[in-house]
Amino acid sequence: MEDQFIKAAGLIGDATRAAIMWTLLDGRAFTATELSIAANTSPQNISMHLAKLLEANLLCVEKQGRHKYYRFSSREVAYVVEAMANLIPKPEIFSQKKNENYPPVKYCRTCYDHLAGKIGVALADSLLKQKIIIENGNTFEISTEGEKWFSDFGINLEEAQKQKRIFLKPCLDWSERRYHISGSIGTLLLNKMLEQDWIRRTANSRAIIITGKGEKEMLKSFKIVV
Amino acid sequence: MEDQFIKAAGLIGDATRAAIMWTLLDGRAFTATELSIAANTSPQNISMHLAKLLEANLLCVEKQGRHKYYRFSSREVAYVVEAMANLIPKPEIFSQKKNENYPPVKYCRTCYDHLAGKIGVALADSLLKQKIIIENGNTFEISTEGEKWFSDFGINLEEAQKQKRIFLKPCLDWSERRYHISGSIGTLLLNKMLEQDWIRRTANSRAIIITGKGEKEMLKSFKIVV
DNA sequence: AGAATACTTCATTCTATATTTAACTATGAA
DNA sequence: TTCATAGTTAAATATAGAATGAAGTATTCT
């Protein structure tokens, strides 16, 4: 028990491997080469480290042609990295601005592969309030009206249900400490919003930005003032 | 941002320091010597490592005579260690037993310094159900009837309120993924139950066991079947 | 006061393992 | 079919930083 804990801690503890984990935190899958660039080291070295992380089951790979895509093997791994990221004192981006003007872009984070942060939580709240999803014990379920809503939003629920991974699941966000939506539905919502340019990923950070269009549309669809 | 993350990961990543964190996970404060025994290394070495953990604000100390008591500096630190502990595959203690007989002791864990695990969650549920505590946004509050209940249970609320630390706060348990009670009230409840021999700490593990007396009393006070 | 305990500091030694160098396989592009 | 790209493996090297040894301070016990 203890030795397994120490082993896991040591695996994440190395600087290069920590850089890998940090990069993977935004939920996307990265190739070995991309990770070597992100971690600022050689391909051979990254390959060695990835092998160790795979061996320990912290990551998993998917081969596509000559590329290999690495991602967290489980939600639990992402939690560890998130919890660690939360040790870092927050920069308080908003408090710097003293005037009432909304900043042009606002930040949220992607947690593993679904929306988290303030937006993710507000989104979950809104869907619950509108009875599009309903809480049932420990899980979220989609109501009959909700099914129509998702279809209007351009999300094919049948398709989502076919996927192996959990369909709809509350997931705790570390910064807000409240549940937001994860599972395949969470990913689909995130992708749809990216597709429609409501939100954009940033190049080298885990933050995503909300566009002007997104601001308007979110107010309209979710009654969220971002 | 990234370098701070890597630094934090590296701090926990060393074997000796990981052993320290693992030991501290049960919420008690330990002296340097105790930690050196737990981590199986020399006092000088543990001193060096503790200095690093202090410097990085992961731990804090309290001096009492010639002893120094070390503990996690914040809840966030405990979360990291808990999340890591959750990477370890669970032994499935119950599934080994095929018959319907309850095992003589049942395990729960102490999270930082309050009750967690199945018991902690069930306890929180029960207190909520009995309206002893009530949910209010993100916090728990004690109702008027609740005040009487706590006093009957032998917990002095005035005393608890005097303490600096947060009085009553929901805290997410990693294994159950539901809120249980933390804060000074959580600690007081835990201590009271230890005192009355409802539960006992085990020597070298983070598990605590429920006594026969505890089983009966919990059913009576909290309507929990353990 | 003197001895024992708890803990720290610093200079030195040591060692685990990260990185590099070099050579290799597999896939895709020209 | 040749070249370039993506990734791996293995042996050699380098080095950060963990552990040790020796000597110190502060506190408590008798």
For B14-31, the pLDDT digits (tens) are 999 999 999 888 666 789
What local confidence, expressed as pLDDT, does residue A69 receive? 87
Of the candidates A19, A83, A138, the beta carbon closest to that of B79 is on A83
Do B136 and B207 belong together in one domain? yes
Neighbours of B155 (CB within 10 A): 16
DSSP state of B175: T
For B143-165, the pLDDT digits (tens) are 777 778 878 877 776 665 655 44
For B7-16, the pLDDT digits (tens) are 999 999 999 9
Do B116 and B211 belong together in one domain? yes
Strand partners, B61: B70
B172 interfacial to chain A (CB closer than 8 Å): yes
Contacts of B80 in chain A (CB under 8 A): 80, 83-84, 86-87
Instruction: Say if CB B168 and CB B133 are below 8 A apart.
Output: yes
B92 has a pLDDT exceeding 60: no
Do B160 and B54 belong together in one domain? no
Q: Is the CB of A44 under 7 A from strand D?
A: yes
Q: Contact A9/B4, CB-based, under 8 Å?
A: no
Nucleotides of D under 7 A from a protein CB: 5-10, 17-23, 26-28
Residue nearest C25, CA–C1′ metric: A66
Do A218 and A110 belong together in one domain? yes
Do A74 and A24 belong together in one domain? yes
Q: Between the CA of residue B144 and those of A7, A144, B130, B150, B153, what are the distances in Å?
A: 49, 40, 12, 10, 15
Q: Contact A6/B12, CB-based, under 8 Å?
A: no
Q: Which residues touch strand C (CB under 7 A)?
A: A 10, 14-16, 41-42, 44-45, 48-49, 52, 65-66; B 31-34, 43-44, 46-48, 50-51, 66-68
Among A85, A117, A137, the domain-final residue is A85
Strand partners, A62: A69
What local confidence, expressed as pLDDT, does residue B43 receive? 95
Neighbours of A4 (CB within 10 A): 14
Of the candidates B4, B14, B205, the beta carbon closest to that of A13 is on B14
For B165-208, the pLDDT digits (tens) are 445 555 544 343 345 565 566 667 777 777 777 776 654 444 56
Enumerate residues 119 to 148 of chain A having a beta carbon within 8 A of any beta carbon in chain B. 138
Q: Calculate the angstrom distance between C1' of D3 and CA of A30.
A: 26
Q: Is the CB of B40 under 7 A from strand D?
A: no
Average pLDDT score, chain A: 72
Rounded (10°) angle between helices B43-55 and B15-24: 80
Of the candidates A14, A76, A174, the beta carbon closest to that of B86 is on A76
What local confidence, expressed as pLDDT, does residue A204 receive? 43
Please tell me the distance from the alpha carbon of residue B22 to that of residue B191, in angstroms, as a whole number. 21
Do B32 and B122 belong together in one domain? no
What local confidence, expressed as pLDDT, does residue A64 receive? 82
**Nearest-by-CA chain B residue for A83:** B80
Do B51 and B120 belong together in one domain? no
Helix, strand, or coil here: A153?
coil
A177 interfacial to chain B (CB closer than 8 Å): yes
Among B66, B85, B104, the domain-final residue is B85
What local confidence, expressed as pLDDT, does residue B2 receive? 83
Do A107 and A211 belong together in one domain? yes
Nucleotides of C under 7 A from a protein CB: 5-10, 17-23, 26-28
CATH of the domain at A76: 1.10.10.10
Number of domains in chain A: 2
Rg of chain B over Cα atoms, rounded to whole angstroms, equals 19
Which stretches does DSSP call E strand in chain B?
A: 30-31, 59-64, 67-72, 107-111, 114-115, 133-136, 139-142, 169-172, 179-182, 199-201, 207-210
Please tell me the distance from the alpha carbon of residue B207 to that of residue B27, in angstroms, as a whole number. 12
Phi, psi of A48 (to 5 degrees): -60, -45
What local confidence, expressed as pLDDT, does residue B94 receive? 36
What local confidence, expressed as pLDDT, does residue B59 receive? 94
Phi, psi of A204 (to 5 degrees): -120, 30
**Nearest-by-CA chain A residue for B75:** A87
B219 interfacial to chain A (CB closer than 8 Å): no
Do A74 and A137 belong together in one domain? no
Do B144 and B218 belong together in one domain? yes
Burial class for A224, CB neighbours closer than 10 Å (0-12, 13-18, 19+):
middle
Residue-number span of the structural domain to which A116 is assigned:
93-222
What local confidence, expressed as pLDDT, does residue B54 receive? 96
Element holding A143 (H helix, E strand): none
Among B85, B115, B132, the domain-final residue is B85
Do A117 and A211 belong together in one domain? yes
For B25-50, the pLDDT digits (tens) are 866 678 999 999 999 999 999 999 99
For B95-143, the pLDDT digits (tens) are 333 332 222 233 344 444 445 555 666 777 777 777 787 766 556 677 7
Do A105 and A210 belong together in one domain? yes
Q: Is the CB of B68 under 7 A from strand D?
A: no
- Residue in A84, A172, A179 to test binding to B, most B beta-carbons within 10 Å: A84
Question: How many A×B Cβ pairs under 8 Å?
Answer: 103
The stretches in chain A having pLDDT less than 70 are 26-28, 89-121, 135-140, 158-187, 200-210, 212, 223-226
